[in-house]
Structure 1
Amino acid sequence: MEPAVEQQPLRIEGREHDLGDSFVVRRLLPVLQARHVGPFVFYDHMGPAQFAPGKGMDVRPHPHIGLATVTWLFDGAIRHRDSLGSLADIRPGEVNWMTSGQGIVHSERTPPTERRDGQTLHGVQVWVALPQADAEVAPDFHHHDASQLPRIRREGVELVLIAGTAYGEASPVKVFAPMFFMQAHLAAGASLDWPEEHCERGVHVIDGDIEWAGVTLGARQMAVQAGATAAPLHAQRDSHVMLFGGAPLDGERHLWWNFVASTRERIEQAKRDWVEQRFAKVPGDEDEFIPLPER
């Protein structure tokens, strides 16, 4: 039998959206050629954005089903509130992991001190689809300090394991399927092999230049690949990247607005529940909400 041909990585440029006040978000996943990578079904690169004193981020209460969300910041702070009563400010190196399951509502706003003084906000937000068997679990939220996350050192490489497993380490963040989500700093000339236990993988370059199996990537670009084997990453200069992936999803998912589900019927039910205000309110942020989009 001939050996399997290694799949060429797919480069993804993403699409930029200006949310106002010079706050630009680049949507990298999903795209037509890669609707999901492992359980990752959505990937946004936020900023960097400079908010003047008195300005800030204000994402009003909105619902989610069928997924877990995670925010990872390089700069700035975001205040999370949700319908469970959770209240947590996230800062660089910390993890806010929210499991929506059968349904949760949350808001994301600039904390008072940063709003007063102004701040630079820069980071990524991802959605991880829950396995079908766990899609209706009770909602949950956990905040993890930077000191709780495994730090892995290899020659010329420093990694932080945000969630999942890699290189013999496991993050304390609760996940529902085999996956990995990591931050990595590679010195110029360094190489990094991929975690062997995961067959779908992607790299997002925050800053620097990376070569992967003949594909070159610069800042704000992503590449993804699936297969039993993968060529290592090579840093052409000092580089800051995010690494992610895992096992293939157990079936396709429908994404509509903030909802992820295996059936369109479940999406429609969530839409009705939001319009008819059957989702719980967010304590401390009850006065506003984002209406259901018309399209």
Structure 2
Amino acid sequence: MLEQVIEQRRRSLGGFEVGRVLPVVGRRHVGPFVFFDHMGPVDFPPGIPREVDVRPHPHIGLATVSYLFAGEMTHRDSVGSEQAIRPGEVNWMTAGRGITHSERFERARAEGGPMHGIQTWVALPEADEECAPSFAHYDAGALPEFDEGGVRARLIAGQAYGLCSPVRTHSPLFYLHVELQAGARLALPAEPTERAAYVVRGTVEAGGGRHEAGRLLVFAPGRPAAIAATTAACVMLLGGEPLGPRFIQWNFVSSRRERIEQAKADWRAGRMKLPDLDDREFIPLPDDPPPAPNPMS
């Protein structure tokens, strides 16, 4: 049974568009997942300008999770990491008390080519919000998979379907890339409490309706949930236990509003170290929006 269907909203990042799904009015999270962007798909011509890159910027209180279907981008951060990510691989960056990073499209600048992927933010439990920042990369071959009944799935993070991902997480969750042949059906895990499916490509049936690419299908807690592919389809499955209210402003996530204000002040004052290998420019703090009356819940 579906609880909510969310349509992506197209947003420009300067050089290309993303489809933003979370957060949205009426749905601030699915378990610990508090942000979900569908990057592309886009085909870059050779010689794209540097404005397409995501310049150094800060985060606190979350983990960013990058996963690509096509293309390549290079991550650099303030704990000294430099790592290209390619299709099927995972970049998991834990911001904790504070990290800065950039994402550059250097191969596409030189050669042109596609860019298509998903970036999510996973909120950290209150006990881990101020942990030491860190970065981890996982090759595609390190991620467990299953292939049966017209369904091929890769477990990006967490536990599901008897599989356990090596990706280190801070709370119970699951996150999968699923490819379905036309006519294939897949039941979602019965737990945890909050579960959703995002249609990347193709068409699926769920909750008595047909759903095309760009929709997040949020399933009712405690009820059986399944998707059936009416065409060949690519779907991301995600879920987990909610962590409680969270404030989000710009790139900062915290259970405390005053912590967001401190992070903003630190970024304005230049107190957050820039990436070791990318410290010549940065994204300024945007104009402050009016304060939200209530935290995410």
TM-score, structure 2 length as denominator? 0.94
Cα distance in 1 between the residues matched to 2:102 and 2:38: 18
Q: RMSD over aligned Cα, in angstroms? A: 1.2
Moved more, 30-39 or 222-231: 222-231
Which letter does structure 2 place at the counterpart of 1:41?
V
Aligned counterpart for 2:219 among listed residues 215, 225, 242 = 225
SS at match of 2:31: coil
Alignment partner, residue 122 of structure 1: 116
Q: Deviations over 1:13-39 (max 9, x none)?
A: 121112344x11111001112100010
- For the pair 1:84 / 2:76, whether they are aligned, the reply is no
Cα distance in 2 between the residues matched to 1:41 and 1:280: 25
Aligned counterpart for 1:292 among listed residues 285, 292, 296 = 285
Cα distance in 1 between the residues matched to 2:53 and 2:12: 14
SS at match of 1:265: helix
Q: Is the 8 A contact 1:199 1:229 kept in 2?
A: no
Cα distance in 2 between the residues matched to 1:248 and 1:128: 11
Deviation of 1:75 after TM superposition, in Å, equals 0.8
Cα distance in 2 between the residues matched to 1:19 and 1:259: 18
Cα distance in 2 between the residues matched to 1:231 and 1:286: 46
Aligned counterpart for 1:103 among listed residues 76, 95, 98 = 98
Moved more, 278-287 or 91-100: 278-287
Alignment partner, residue 153 of structure 2: 159
Which letter does structure 2 place at the counterpart of 1:55?
I
SS at match of 1:201: strand
What is the 5 A alignment of 1:13-28?
13-21=7-15, 23-28=16-21
Q: Is the 8 A contact 1:9 1:215 kept in 2?
A: no
Q: Deviations over 1:121-179 (max 9, x none)?
A: 11110000001111111001000000000001231100000000001111000000000
Deviation of 1:277 after TM superposition, in Å, equals 1.1
Alignment partner, residue 268 of structure 2: 275
SS at match of 1:102: coil
Name stretches of at least 5 consecutive residues in structure 2 with no aligned partner: 289-297
Cα distance in 2 between the residues matched to 1:9 and 1:223: 8
- For the pair 1:58 / 2:53, whether they are aligned, the reply is yes
Cα distance in 2 between the residues matched to 1:187 and 1:176: 33
Aligned length: 286
Cα distance in 2 between the residues matched to 1:17 and 1:246: 26
Cα distance in 2 between the residues matched to 1:85 and 1:28: 31
Moved more, 51-60 or 252-261: 51-60
Cα distance in 1 between the residues matched to 2:224 and 2:124: 25
- For the pair 1:38 / 2:31, whether they are aligned, the reply is yes
What is the 5 A alignment of 1:1-12?
8-12=2-6
Name stretches of at least 5 consecutive residues in structure 1 with no aligned partner: 1-6
Aligned counterpart for 1:140 among listed residues 130, 134, 141 = 134
- For the pair 1:210 / 2:204, whether they are aligned, the reply is yes
Q: After TM superposition, which residue ranges in structure 1, 4 or more long, deviate above 6 angstroms?
A: none
Q: Is the 8 A contact 1:104 1:139 kept in 2?
A: yes
Deviation of 1:78 after TM superposition, in Å, equals 0.6
Moved more, 187-196 or 127-136: 187-196
- For the pair 1:242 / 2:207, whether they are aligned, the reply is no
SS at match of 2:280: coil
Deviation of 1:68 after TM superposition, in Å, equals 0.3
Deviation of 1:226 after TM superposition, in Å, equals 3.5
Cα distance in 2 between the residues matched to 1:20 and 1:269: 28
Percentage of matched positions with identical amino acids: 53
Q: Deviations over 1:55-75 (max 9, x none)?
A: 163111100000000111111
SS at match of 2:2: coil
